Structure 1
């Protein structure tokens, strides 16, 4: 597995945020957000912190399922994502938005009852440190909920896109999807890192959901232009983004048809707790 690259693997800027939210969120994130929201609501927290909130898919679910009285703070390292997520909220529910690094949270210790992070931990340069920061800001007995993707081979369209781009650049294939989103989802690793952060592991629950898009091209667009994979493509060919997206779309269409397309996504829903 290639080494995580913090300078490029966390670059969600420019039009990436909008494409991410329009195409990638319904493709792979929404079902997991609903599951996370149900778990969060069952905890009946008074104060919730979301880290790595991205374009706000989980934030919107939490805003819907939690009582108005629950404090809801949403953070992300990328200002472009926070700005987009803030605009996407309908304003009916107060959310405190803040640019913040999940590895150095600007909050007092023992402030929150629950910390949630949907598919963000894979982007932490140091996951144990990120988990330890969640523990620090949680009250005794507080819960930490997060999700991780399984290996790329268990996620149909991400795997197809990665294999397709390797055909275009066989000597230097773009490996962002395999390296970062799908590079850390092994239960034994998750358990070891959670324990190293001083948290008590309650469950690692595998979850398989459906990944659907109107066309094969839209599925390819979500990955090629709505994630930091875009930067890897443009680094290899500054004018090749459209060509790469179309090539990946054809690869998806050969297996699942032109559209609507329906594949599998698989990840893990993890629940940990602060002792006490």
Structure 2
């Protein structure tokens, strides 16, 4: 049985799979705007399993790698499935990420936030397609590992201005009233896009949520003072009631924190932007 040790380590921004240790233990990796839970599986079927989330969003991605993972052209995309024990498979999307030391790697997306509840209760995780499974992981002490990941998320949100009372038993964080994709109009999104000539942008905006659910402050991560992109991304949400308020254990509203992304892919003179 692999001994499980849960730790938190501050790391420089880099691909999280490349930073995983080889001890076979769980490891929580903390970056300025992300939390990752990583496990290297050793033994007869070595592999890498990692979960990354951005605090204050519904964004959860999973990376899997192993010698039995099929090789595909980098960036190739296809439907996939992730299964906890004998539960109903979760239908997701997979994208090939090249090859790591542990073998070919896939990035899995399309998860809902309650995926972490299923993970916490699991003993085994299987990943594959509708026709076959190509890698499986034993996940001992998964509940403690997911608990450590959630603590990382909560700690970052507190750093961003959230009242810690909402994370105590009986408290609740703010809940978005509409999808983040609807926060900016197409015209507002294109205004943000117009601030850069880069083929791709991926900007994270952090917001604090007042006790009435309105956006009290907004900041683009790593933005320079008075940056135009920050102004154009924040202006449409400032003062808007976009959340139900966070509450403490007594049910009193408290300050919350959240985040959203603006992504741009520009190809052949066609611009496509989204918020999420």
- TM-score, normalised to structure 1, is 0.27
Q: Which has the higher contact order (CA 8 A, sep 6+)?
A: 1
More strand by percentage: 2
Greater gyration radius = 2
- TM-score, normalised to structure 2, is 0.27
More helix by percentage: 1
